[in-house]
Amino acid sequence: MESMVGDRPAAAPTAVVTGGNRGIGYAVAARLLAHGCDVVLVARDRERGEIARTSLAASGTGTVRLVVGDLSTVKTARTTAETLREECGRIDVLVHNAGLWPSQCTAGEDGLERSFVVNHLAPFLLNHGLEPLLTASRARVVQVSAGLYLRGQADPERTPYGLDFHPVRTYADTKLCNLLLVPRFAERWKDAGVTVNAVHPGVIRTGLGDRRGPLGWLIKAAKLLWKSPATGARPVARLALSEEVAGVTGRYFHLEREQPLAPVATDAALAERFWDQALELTGVTAAPPPVRGDAGDPPAA
């Protein structure tokens, strides 16, 4: 895999990876480092993030920085975006890897169900908040998705507040919300040289979805047969760096194969409702679509 960003070679592209302290995020960060990137890890827990940063830095193949950021509420996600703008002189790759699969419904101080924020609103907010940096570098944005979106039944009136919470389906619902907006961002960025794609990295052995009790034991036993995080990182890193997919945008990939989205994720009216709702819930006032090389002010939030 050649280290490329957009249509130009990058000696040291800067790659931001959310949820980069463990699982697929850590493996993606390691792979990006191996291909010449300087990596910025976003992790909620400072201690765990620093352990991951130190471990990755030991490879000696690039620089690794840590940004401590909580993506589980609109307020903290906005703060994370602001910190990234301050810390990053440029962003060539943005990997939305952070994800939450809760066993019970919990809401933040904003009254929003946490997985709805982490899986859907936080990437939306970061995309807007970091847009000037993404545009200036003609960046690639990669959304780590899930094949379970097929089972999603997202409802704009209920899903944001956990009113239809289910310990399995809510994960599918919130991933569907996010996936509905990938084509919208592709359309927004089409004249700016920024690409955005979603990828299901496979069924991977991580801590996502872990449970306590007998169900938890069964899940852990099943995970012994699942693929490693390093395997899951490959299709993510490919979209982030490979010249093979340069210029490709607004697509969904199952591993390394492009796959048409199921009808549930191509409902334009539903996508518009979730886009408008995300603007309202995050307080983002979207600027006009950027053009190539436009590094103006970020949208008001």
**Residue whose C-alpha is closest to residue 249's, from 191, 207, 291:** 191
Pairing label, strands 14-18, 93-96: parallel
Q: Which of 26, 149, 171, 252 is catalytic?
A: 171
> Phi, psi (5° rounding) for residue 246?
-60, 130
Alpha-carbon distance values, 279 to 14, 185, 253, 274, 299 (Å): 27, 13, 26, 9, 11
- Rounded Cα gap, residues 56 and 165, in angstroms: 37
For 41, the token pair is 């890890």
For 214, the token pair is 């007998």
Is 171 known to be catalytic?
yes
Question: Who contacts 263 (Cβ-Cβ below 8 Å, separation ≥6)?
Answer: none
Question: Which positions are catalytic?
Answer: 171
